Amino acid sequence: MGDPKDNVDIGPMVSLEAREEVHKQVLRSIDDGANLILGGEIPKIPELFIQLHYYQM
């Protein structure tokens, strides 16, 4: 997590719309048979973060 100019792996989403789209993609993967191992929810904070999601197809 850090400055997006650095080589980072985790950071905030660019917008609320982007966060919602990623969340919808995760839910579609689960609907298509992915086994959710971790995550699956949007944190109840106003910032543009989303939980890490791990799932197995």
Q: What is the pLDDT along the chain (57 residues), one digit of tens a residue?
A: 556 666 766 677 788 888 889 889 889 988 999 898 888 777 777 777 777 777 776
- How far apart, in whole angstroms, are the C-alpha atoms of residue 22 and residue 20? 6
Q: Give residue 6's pLDDT.
A: 67
Q: Which amino acid is at 30?
A: I
Tokens representing 46 are 């106003």
